Amino acid sequence: MATSQPSNPPGFFSGDRKYEGDGGMELERVWQQFQWREIRGCPGRYVVARRAAGALSSMSLVDLLARSEVAEASMILKVRKDGKDPMDIIFFPGGGGIITYCRFKKDGEASIAVPLYIHTLNTESGLIRKILDMGIEDQTVFRGYAAVSRRTRIIATLLSFLNPNSRSKLASTVTVTLHAVFSEN
C-alpha cells in the first residue's frame, strides 16, 4: 500500500521538495519562474542553472523582482563588506529571499566594466545561515531592518548559537518547526 507524503500547505515553499515549508509563497513564485540548482554544500541555497543564467546575469535584483512581481525594490538591503563583492539582499515576507552578488567584468570592445549579477535563491534557513556565516549580522540585517520578520529574528538568534556545521544540518528543521508554531498563532 503506497503512502503519500503530506502536501505542503498553501502559501509555503515546495521548490525541489528537499526543504518544503522553509519559506513562503514569494520564494515559491521565484522558484517557479526560473530553473534553479542547489549550490553544492549549501543546503537551501540555489543558483540559476547554467543554461538559464545568461539572461539573468545582466539583470539587477531590482529588475529580477519587477519581473517576478514579488517584492518592493525599496526593501532591498545593500551590504558592502571589505574584500567581498557588493551584495543586495531581500527578505521575502513569508520567509526566504535572494542574495545578489555584483561583479564587474571588462567589456572587450568598450574597455569598460560591465556589471555581472549572480542571484542566489535562498530558503529562509539558507538565507539566515549565509548571513550568519558571512558575519554581516551586525550590519542591521536582523536588527532594525523592518523587512525582517520577528520569526526570522528568532530563528537567526537560535541558529547563531550553533557552529556552522551543526547550523547546516539543523537549520531547515528549526525553521520549518518555527514556521508551524508561528502559523498556529
The set of cell numbers assigned to 70 is 514579488
Please, what is the Cα angle at 15 between 13 and 20, to 5 degrees?
50
In degrees and rounded to multiples of 5, residue 82 shows phi and psi of -55, 130
Q: How far apart are CA 115 and CA 104, in angstroms?
A: 5
pTM: 0.85
- Which residue(s) pair with 104 in the sheet? 115
Q: How far apart are CA 37 and CA 63, in angstroms?
A: 21
Given its phi and psi angles, is residue 172 left (phi above 0), alpha (psi -120 to 50 degrees) or beta? alpha
DSSP E strands, 1-109: 36-38, 45-48, 77-79, 87-91, 97-107
Per-residue pLDDT of the chain (185 residues; tens, 9 = 90+): 333 334 555 668 998 999 999 998 889 999 998 889 999 999 999 998 776 667 788 888 888 888 888 766 557 888 888 888 889 999 888 889 999 999 887 766 666 778 889 999 999 999 999 988 888 755 456 665 666 778 888 888 889 899 999 999 999 999 999 888 877 76
